[in-house]
Structures are given as structure tokens and as C-alpha cells.
Amino acid sequence: MAVPKMVYEWRLGIDDTDSLEGGCTTHFMFNILKEFKHKIKLVEYPLLIRLNPNIPWKTRGNGAVGIRFLANEEQAINIFEYVKEMLPPPSKKLKRNSGAILAKAEVLKKEIDSIVRKALTSVVGLNEVLKMIQKKELLYHAKGNKRGLIGALSVCGYEFLGDFTYELLLYRSPENYGTKRSVSLESIKKLEKRFSPQIFSSYDFETNTPLILPRGKDPVLLGIRSKNAELLKKAVKTLDILEPVEGGLIFKTNQATDDHFKRLSKKELGFNNVFYSTVKVSKKPERMIGGHVRVLVKDIKNEEDFWVVAYEPSKRFRDIVSKLIPEDLLWVGGGIRDEMFENRYTLNLERLIILRTVNEYKKINPDCPICGKKLTSKGKNQGFKCKKCGKSYPDAKPKLIPIKRQVMPGLYLPPLTAQRHLTKPLERFCEYNEIKNSDLRHEKKEVLSQDFFIDKSYFY
Ligand code: ATP
């Protein structure tokens, strides 16, 4: 009698299979699962994990993909061989350096945590990743400069810290790549009105922009997001899709969870790092060429000064920053630019909490104590004089009249069009009462192909 083969939980991570000229790492996973969806048992939805959004060599949203599945050694290696064959060739021009890793879940353990955390918040060195691969004897395959292994290992080692969301992605028929996406705008607006906040960031009524349609040459037709995967499957059918669909996948993601802020252990200013801190405004904000606004702030813990910048496209958000005044107390979070400005770091602002505003005053000249007329200034620090009585008042001080502040304490985010994938949008702050408790928990259980895979027949 043949001995049954041991079944293990495996983790497969893949990154950097795309370029601005086409492709998408999520679509690569779609093709893998098209082939294997009935042959393996996923223990979780396919993963789309967004890493540090400030990495200069990313193509778009710095996403890496993965699956977690049960299989015996032979089946797992069979899938990995297929992935290896499918990985696109490296390209210097397209900055494409694909990487894939296969690991048994049990060998990853805690040690990978620090790499995952770093991948979300700062820059990971390839050597560090290669050493870990060697130490853990992981199966890997990499092209070009092998950089794709950084994202691939990060997905393998990734653990959800409670919060997560799903994204349902639909893919286009190849003959339509590069053309305008044909989905009725009216139906996207209706989707937003009907399903928000459970389905979030679908249409931005502030800027009149659909948020579910990407703009590039990639194969993604649209992506809708929610904490509730089943709802996504129902809701996508309400859209008027006017071009053929190749199929789709539902990914479990760390998008819209502020994951990059949550993973910071040591909040260090450094190029391309994620950073947040509580600060006080040191100087009045300045408007820069191009309409951007910057403000000098002081970290209240280490007293370090740095610039905070809100860019022109963030419009209303930038206007809020321009109304801050010295001594306002803030929480600021974002990414550090990779150049110094007047010897100081610059934080590209992604999230602002105004914790406390100070009173703002307008200075006006005091009244004459004799005749009651307004005094006139004699020059800086030289006191005042009454033109009517002719008397001087060298010690008189200007009157301070409180004026209404234009900003209030609260949480401020850029418009939806300018938000990062990882940013938790305002809509998500009110979802918790609306979803069953079981949907909120991160539970590992078998996920069937009909749960995560969307066949083109779903629409016809
Ligand atoms: P898309 O989102 O469209 O799939 P992308 O924006 O994810 O594309 P990639 O083409 O995957 O961009 O390029 C990102 C590259 O950066 C990958 O090779 C990935 O391994 C690497 N990378 C990701 N995070 C880090 C990090 N924190 N430090 C160093 N390298 C990183």
C-alpha cells in the first residue's frame, strides 16, 4: 500500500513581473490561479500586499502578491516550476527584475517579521533578503538584479495585524490593452452611492473622478474594495461594463489599513522612509512655486526641525496646511523625500491630525487714553503717538484682537484621488458597525476557487 504523501502549508510570493509598458503582478497571479485553482487548496484568499509607497524603483503602487496553500512537496514544486517558466524576462529599460519564492509556512516564523516591517516602512537591502533565503533554504527564482525577491519574501512572511480589506480586480481582454476603459461612469457613481462605506473609494464626488479604473496600459479593467468579499462579488455585477472581461480575482490586502504607520518600530527620519510624529508648527507656512505648501515643524520628542509639504494636487488638503500657525500641535505622517532642503528632511504629507490649535490674534493700535482716538505707531519698538493730542506713549502696546481660526482640530486626508493605497480612507472609519463580527476577524480557513476566482462566464 502506498504511503500518503505529507501535506504542508506553503507560501508562494511573487513580485516585479510588470512594467509601465504593460503587465501587472496581480494579473500574473491571475494566470497562475487560472491554471491551478482546482488543483490546490488555498487556506486564505490570494494576497496583494502593498509595501513602502516611497520606494523610488516601484512601477506604481508597490504591490507584491502571494498565495498560501496546502499541498504535498511534489504538488508545491510543480506549481513553482510553472511560476518559474512564466516569469517574464528581465529588462533594464522597463526596470523589471522579477522574483518568486516558495516556502513552507513552518520555516518562516518570526525571523522574517523584521524584513516585512522594514519592507513596509523603509528600504530593504537585497543582501539581507538573500541571506535569509539561504539561511531558511527557501526555493527561489529571480531575474535581472533579483530585486523582486524583496517583495516576494515580504509577502511570504507577511502576517495581518488585525485589519485587512479585499480588492476584486477584473482583467481586460488583451485586444483592449492600452485603450480607454469602457465602464459606465453613471454605474460607478451609483455603486459609490449605494454601497459606501462598505465598498469604499469607488468614485470621488469632490473631484468628479472614478477611482476604480486605473489609467495605464496594464491589464486591469477595474478594482473595487471592501472589508466584505462576498459583497464585492455581488456589487461588481451592478456595474455597466461595456467591454469584454477576461476574468478576475479577489485579493485579501493590507490596502486602506494604514499598515505602514502601524509597523513602525523606530520612527527614524531617513530618505524614502515612512515616518510619523507629533510636532509643533515652528513658522508660518509658505506657498512654493507650483502651488505646493510647506511648513517648518519641530518634533516634540527629539526637537528636530523638518519640513512638511502638501502638494498642489491635494488642493483642499494643501489649503488646510496653509492655514496652520506657529505653536499648533499636529500629528503628521507620510514619506521622507530623498533630498535635503536647507539641511532639513522633508515629509511628504499623507495624513494630518490637528491635535490642538492655538488662538490667533490680530494686532491693532491702542486708543488714546485722553481723547479715545486710535494712536499711530512711531516705528518699531518706539511706542505710539496721538495725532490729535500730540502726546507720546512710548510704553503703549498694540491691542490683540482674537480672530476666528480657519482650521479646527481633526483628521485631514488628501482627496481620494491623491491617497496612497495603504491610506485608511475616512469612509473606513465608520464601517465597523455595519459588518458582521466574523468578517472583521482575520480567520484562516479554506477558500474555494468559487470564492476568489471570477470566471468570465460570471458576467455572461
Ligand atoms: P505594481 O503595483 O503595478 O504591481 P509595483 O509598483 O509593485 O508595480 P514593482 O515593479 O513590483 O512595482 O517594483 C517594486 C520593486 O521594489 C520590487 O522589485 C520589490 O521587490 C522592491 N521593493 C518593494 N519594497 C521594497 C523595500 N521596502 N525596499 C527595497 N525594495 C523594495
59 CA to centre of ligand 1 in angstroms: 7
Residues 6+ apart with CB under 8 A from 127: none
Q: pLDDT digit string (tens) for 107-154?
A: 987 789 999 999 999 999 999 999 999 999 999 999 989 999 999 999
The length of the chain is 460
Task: Report the atom number in ligand 1 closest to the C-alpha of 149.
Answer: 20
Residue with cell 482627496: 415
Same domain, 338 and 385: no
CA distance 23 to 150: 19
**DSSP run (H or E) holding 329:** strand 329-336
CB crowding 430-448: b at 16 or more within 10 Å, else e: ebeeeeeeebeeeeeeebe
CATH code: domain of residue 276: 2.40.50.1010
Same domain, 331 and 368: no
Same domain, 18 and 57: yes
Residue 107 lies in a domain: yes
Q: 126-136 and 148-157 helices cross at what angle (nearest 10)? A: 50
Phi, psi of 245 (to 5 degrees): -110, 135
pLDDT at 127: 97
397 pLDDT exceeds 80?
A: yes
Residue type, 249: L
Q: Does the C-beta of 335 come closer than 6 Å to ligand 1?
A: no
Nearest CA to ligand 1 atom 25: 119
201 pLDDT exceeds 80?
A: yes
CA distance 311 to 414: 9
Which residue among 21, 55, 126, 217 is best mutated to probe the pocket of ligand 1, counting the most ligand atoms within 8 A of its Cβ? 55
Nearest CA to ligand 1 atom 7: 62
Residues 6+ apart with CB under 8 A from 94: 19, 20, 21
User: HSE (CB half, 13 Å, CA atoms) of 38?
Assistant: 2
pLDDT at 444: 65
pTM, rounded to two decimals? 0.92
57 CA to centre of ligand 1 in angstroms: 7
Q: Does the C-beta of 124 come closer than 6 Å to ligand 1?
A: yes
pLDDT at 433: 46
Domains in the chain, number: 4
Tell me which residue range forms the domain holding 368: 361-400
CA distance 229 to 167: 8
Task: Report the atom number in ligand 1 closest to the C-alpha of 119.
Answer: 27
Q: Does the C-beta of 298 come closer than 6 Å to ligand 1?
A: no
Same domain, 311 and 378: no
CA distance 318 to 260: 22
CA distance 350 to 352: 7
Q: pLDDT digit string (tens) for 338-396?
A: 999 999 999 999 999 999 999 999 999 999 999 999 999 988 888 999 999 889 999 99
Same domain, 225 and 328: no
258 CA to centre of ligand 1 in angstroms: 18
All cell numbers assigned to 326:
506657529
